[in-house]
Amino acid sequence: MNASRLRSRSMSEAAAQAAIDQACRAPRLPTIRSRFEEIAAAAGREAARG
């Protein structure tokens, strides 16, 4: 996928938060829903390390 196509598929921070919230509600994952920002930040740090 080229860069311009990736940019067009990105979503706003609010939309991403809403999508995560909804995805966690369906299977009833309140712990993930309440900690997703912390988990996402840790994943970003790990990905940056290589």
In DSSP notation, 13-50 reads HHHHHHHHHHHHHTTT-HHHHHHHHHHHHHHHHHHHH-
Distance of CA 36 to the CA centre of its chain: 7
Question: 3-class SS at 10?
Answer: coil
Residue-level pLDDT at 9 = 60
Give the global pTM: 0.47
Residue-level pLDDT at 4 = 47
Residue 47: partners with Cβ closer than 8 Å, 6 or more residues away = none
Answer yes or no: is pLDDT of 1 > 50.
no
12/31 Cα distance (integer angstroms): 23
pLDDT tens for 5-42 read 445 567 788 888 888 888 887 777 778 878 988 988 99
